[in-house]
Amino acid sequence: MAVDVLTPGAEQRIERLHRVWRPRPGVLGWLTTVDHKRIGLLYFFTTLAFFGAGGIEALLMRTQLAGPDLNVVGPETYDQLMTMHGVTMIFFFIIPMTTGAFGNYLVPLMIGARDMAFPRLNALSYWIFLGSGIFIYVGLFMHRAPNCGWFCYTPLNRRAFDPGPNVDFYALGLIFNSIASTATALNFIVTIFKLRAPGMSLNRMPLFIFAMLAVSLSLIFALPSLTADLVYLELQRKGGFHFFDVAHGGDAFLWQHLFWLFGHPEVYIIVLPAFGIATSIIPTFSKRRMIAFPLVALAELLVAFIGFGVWAHHMFATGLPTITLVAFAAASMMVVIPSTIQVFAWTFTVVLGRPEFRAPLLFIGGFIVFFVLGGLSGIMFAAIPFDQATTDTYFVVAHFHFIIFGAAVFPILGGMYYWFPKVTGRLYHERAAQISFWLTFFGTALTFFPMHIVGLLGMTRRVYTYKPHLGWDAYNLSETIGSFILAAGLLLIFANLVWSRFRGAPSGPDPFRGGTLEWATSSPPPEYNFAVIPKVTSPYPNWDPADREDDARRLQAGTLVLEEGHETPAVTVRDGYLDEVLRMPAESPWPVVVGLGVALIFTMLLLSHFVLASVAAGLTLFALAGWHLQEPELE
């Protein structure tokens, strides 16, 4: 709050807000928290741990592939590493990092709310996410981790070919995990539609919020397809059903269709938050609004929508009828247009603005370069004959790593620097941050670019070793060297953030002069986010000084301060008129209890103790009853 002098009345109100929203101290406070910022931080540190695990898995694979005929890890370990790397990076790093950590922390702040719409559900999401991550990693520590690839095609996933619990860890772990993602997505949709500050009509929502809305809608519609697939799989593995079994009238294509009907929207679920982060960083450091703002907002939603119509381009080599292939190729080309709109809107905003290349904008520059590289090779796959030649080779590995590492993770890294002062109240070390950018940039290029070449030279994916006479050795070695440079760059980023957390210079509330509302409150933000619900008259409210002065006046007058209870305003969905004042739930032990119950259910299912699983389900229902008996307001 950019308020220099507070009248005694305003001070009293802030004091009162502080008392109403004050968290319980200590570990118990974190276990029972429903504060979106604390949940966001819990997500952040948990997903970072999974990022570390996925990264170590990647480095082990790259070490095994550094030269031909190496035997660093055997084929069984390699397959587990390969599967866990994919599953971890997608389900336990990128999605929870962008939605759980960035989304949770930033969405309420950017729309001027005091929390998410369903704070306890939000806490439950986190505990379920944590439980599912531990669940699937227990498999790895038992050396029984999923080993069928993240796509886990049938019939390879059947008991006949994979008799251990490996595939069950995969199927149950991902169903478990998808509960968390679904709950988070629902929470975002309601939060974004209902909890915006009065005045923030849909057309004044920040582009980050549009991206999070698109992601949440995609998750809601894509995850059921995956869940259905996984439920069929477990029914087949544990219940003797025959969904995918050709000999009994099932169909192996059913798995692939359902998987990719989820799997392709998933790609946009992964990159859309990155677009959102980019559209937050670019205007701040270019010192101008995003060019073609409405087009970019529309493009973010369109990408998510068209993304549901392209799944069969993952199946061009399976022998589907040509007419099907051509239709999906056309849709795949169509989905390029919203992306090109965004690329040029980002680029021209930088070029025509007054760009200041501090670390966050550098990472966005890297993001644009890699997104364009991966996007262009992606267009090549819409040319069916080329896809049929190069699918399942390292060319694909190169393509999608430029998308999901270059385009999805670079904005996450840039976003870590960008919002670090907001979360900690301190500045990161700029010089070290720039060095870390160049290390990760060259590391990424060196790791993934040669994969295009080696793919065209015929190197297939998912092989644990290869022969020396095919001309692949030098490329593979350079990829391995690149991966270690990349790892060094990432370590430097985290070292910088840890050092700055304790030694960084104080940042003040708004060190970069950002345009969105999170910069209108102090750093770190108070538990109640805003002392007064901010006034909004444009998509860049923090660039409207008159409105911020108005906030200060309203705090003195006590308009929309809501210090009487745990409250936040709700607005009409489209126009953002003040609708009602909602009473928000306080801290609660029930989310973590329900989370434990769900973990118990899945553990019993894994062990095929179906009776005990039903008992656990009963206990979970009791916990849910307790949850609903607790009054929302204890103050």
Query: In the range 140-199, which residues lie near other proteins by CB under 8 A?
Result: 148-149, 153, 155-156, 161-162
* Contact status: 319 vs other proteins (CB under 8 A): yes
Cα 431 to Cα 420: distance, rounded to the nearest angstrom: 15
Smaller CB separation from other proteins, 319 or 545: 319
Helix, strand counts (H, E) of the chain: 22, 2
Q: Which of 49, 186, 202, 292 binds other proteins (CB under 8 A)?
A: 292
Q: How far is the CB of 474 from other proteins (least distance, A)?
A: 10
Q: How far apart are CA 95 and CA 88, in angstroms?
A: 10
**Cα gap 146→78, rounded to integer Å:** 11
Of 4-12, 126-134, 200-208, 351-359, which segment contacts other proteins by CB under 8 A? 351-359
How many residues belong to the site for other proteins (CB under 8 A)?
Answer: 85
Strand partners, 580: 570
* Residue 74 per-residue DSSP state: -
> Which letter, b or e, does each residue of 195-225 get, where b requires 16 or more Cβ atoms within 10 Å of its Cβ?
bbbbbbbbebbbbbbbbbbbbbbbbebbbeb
Closer Cβ to other proteins, 294 or 565, answer by number: 294
The reply to whether 329 sits near other proteins by the rule CB under 8 A is yes
Interaction with other proteins in 376-395: which residues (CB under 8 A)? 376-377, 379-380, 382-386, 388-393
Please report whether residue 75 would count as binding other proteins according to CB under 8 A. Answer: yes
Answer yes or no: are the C-beta atoms of 303 and 338 closer than 8 Å. Answer: yes
Q: How far is the CB of 404 from other proteins (least distance, A)?
A: 19
Q: Give me the least distance between CB of 470 and other proteins, in Å please.
A: 6
Q: Which is nearer to other proteins, 294 or 618 (CB)?
A: 294
The span of 185-193, 259-267, 373-381, 489-497 binding other proteins (CB under 8 A) equals 373-381
In the set 5, 354, 503, 631, which binds other proteins (CB under 8 A)?
A: 354
Of 49, 60, 72, 295, the one binding other proteins by CB under 8 A: 295
Selection from 309, 273, 288, 299 nearest residue 353 by Cα = 288
CB nearer to other proteins: pick between 372 and 432:
372
* Contact partners, residue 237, CB within 8 Å, separation at least 6: 157, 158, 159, 167, 168, 171
Q: Which residue, 183, 179, 147, 168, is CA-closest to 603?
A: 168
- Quote the tokens at residue 622: 């009791």
CA-CA distance, 198 to 533, in Å (whole number)?
8
Pick the binder of other proteins from 74, 163, 506, 618 (CB under 8 A).
74
**280 versus 286: smaller Cβ distance to other proteins:** 286
CA 123 to chain centre: 17
Q: Is the bond leading into 23 cis (omega within 30 degrees of zero)? A: no
Residue nearer to other proteins on the CB measure, 463 or 505: 463
Which 259-288 positions form the footprint of other proteins (CB under 8 A)?
A: 286, 288
The phi-psi region of residue 562 (left if phi > 0; otherwise alpha if psi is between -120 and 50; otherwise beta) is left
Among 357, 442, 484, 499, binds other proteins (CB under 8 A): 357
State the nearest-atom distance from the C-beta of 252 to other proteins, in Å: 5
Which residues are CB-neighbours of 509 under 8 A, at least 6 positions away? Answer: 1, 2, 519, 520, 521, 522, 523
Q: Which one of 28, 134, 142, 246 is in contact with other proteins (CB under 8 A)?
A: 246
Interface of this chain with other proteins, residues 488 to 547, rule: CB under 8 A: none
Which of 70, 317, 435, 578 binds other proteins (CB under 8 A)? It is: 317
Residue 278 CB, nearest approach to other proteins (Å): 13
